[in-house]
Amino acid sequence: MDITVLSIFPKMFQALNESLIGKAQEKGLVNLDVVDFRDFTTDKQNHVDDAPYGGGAGMLLQAQPIYDAMDSVEKNKPGKKRVILLDPAGKTFNTKMARDFAKEDQLVFICGHYEGFDERVKDLVTDEVSIGDYILTGGELPTMNMIDATLRFVPGVLGNSFSAEDESFSHGLLEYPQYSRPADFRGKKVPEVLTSGNHEKIRVWRLKESLRKTLDRRPDLLENIELTDEEKKLIREIRSEN
């Protein structure tokens, strides 16, 4: 996968050279380039922002530097691209979106700053995306968030290919509780079923606990899931226990 980020703070993305994403780059599983679109401004003072027409607070990122930066990306990396604009008004990022992004050959992220973008920038993009109903100082941190979540679904990035499938939200539910050695730590014991060796009982316990956590903490998630008969039965059991 090839990822290009347009930002005026490229050094922030050095964090992605660490951990699993850094290793994925070393292995050639992902190529990550960060383009400083300030390099493409025609302003003598290297400004990439200006006051909005009609007045108002704050400054807007201008279309010209971003368009010229995208022209450069197209020239150096021809081919179909998914171009993602970080925008508080965009669709909320989730696991399904990360899976979809992971299927693409090329992703381009455009990071905003200041009060927003000249509206004409949006003609360049395929997706307008937000990470939640709150405002940050820029689009760099949300972009790193989305890159990290997306690359987990690129084959070979995770050491265990099943890890991404078992985690919270992968199937619409929160993840079940997990334990490691020792089996008894300061009187807090691992549930017996997990040490029983009975894989079917472990599977059912994990599913039930995943449903229990989702019911308790994020019941809204269940509204978008088509539950199996087994899951419906387990939910009835959980509710009868309360």
Q: Is 133 annotated as a binding residue?
A: yes
**62: helix, strand or coil:** coil
Residue where the block lists tokens 């455009």:
110
Cβ within 8 Å of residue 62, ≥6 positions away: 41, 47, 48, 49, 50, 118
> Taking the mean position of all CA atoms in its chain, how far away is CA 89?
16
Q: Is 141 annotated as a binding residue?
A: no
Residue where the block lists tokens 């007045």:
55
Q: Is 134 annotated as a binding residue?
A: yes
In angstroms, the CA 69 to CA 209 distance is 49
Q: Is 22 annotated as a binding residue?
A: no
Please give the structure tokens belonging to residue 60: 């807007």
- Which phi and psi (to 5°) does residue 94 adopt? -150, 180
Q: Is 107 annotated as a binding residue?
A: no
**For residue 198, what are the β-bridge partners?**
none
Q: Is 207 annotated as a binding residue?
A: no
- Which phi and psi (to 5°) does residue 52 adopt? -75, 145
Q: Is 156 annotated as a binding residue?
A: no
User: Rounded to the nearest 10 degrees, what angle do helices 199-217 and 229-241 cross at?
Assistant: 70
Which residues make up each annotated binding site?
Answer: 112, 131-136
Which residues make up each annotated binding site for S-adenosyl-L-methionine?
Answer: 112, 131-136
